[in-house]
Amino acid sequence: MTDHNDDYVYDDTTGEWRPASEMAAIAASAGSIEVHDAAGNVLADGDSVVLVKDLKVKGAGQTLKQGR
């Protein structure tokens, strides 16, 4: 249950105002995504990668160029 003094945050996905503590719990559980490289190694924050071909970024209107 939520506390009456809890802050509320608008959830764009559901279109509802939800308690901040509930949104923080959802964000923490969603942060467990693992990203792997072509060899199957897990990538972590700060890792460097080299692109072997240009990649178009959907929704951003830009292309990541081959190389570093």
Tell whether pTM > 0.75.
no
Top pLDDT among 38 and 34 is at: 38
Looking up tokens 């959907």 gives: 58
- The domains of the chain are located at 8-64
Given this model, what pLDDT does residue 31 score? 63
- In which element (H, E) is residue 9 found? strand 8-11
Q: What is the pLDDT of residues 7-32, one digit of tens each?
A: 888 888 888 998 988 888 887 777 66
Q: What is the mean pLDDT of residues 46-53?
A: 90
Round the average pLDDT of the chain to a whole number and report it.
Answer: 83
Q: Which of 25, 61, 59, 31 has the alpha carbon at shortest distance from 45?
A: 31
Given this model, what pLDDT does residue 17 score? 92
Cα 52 to its chain centre, rounded Å, is 24
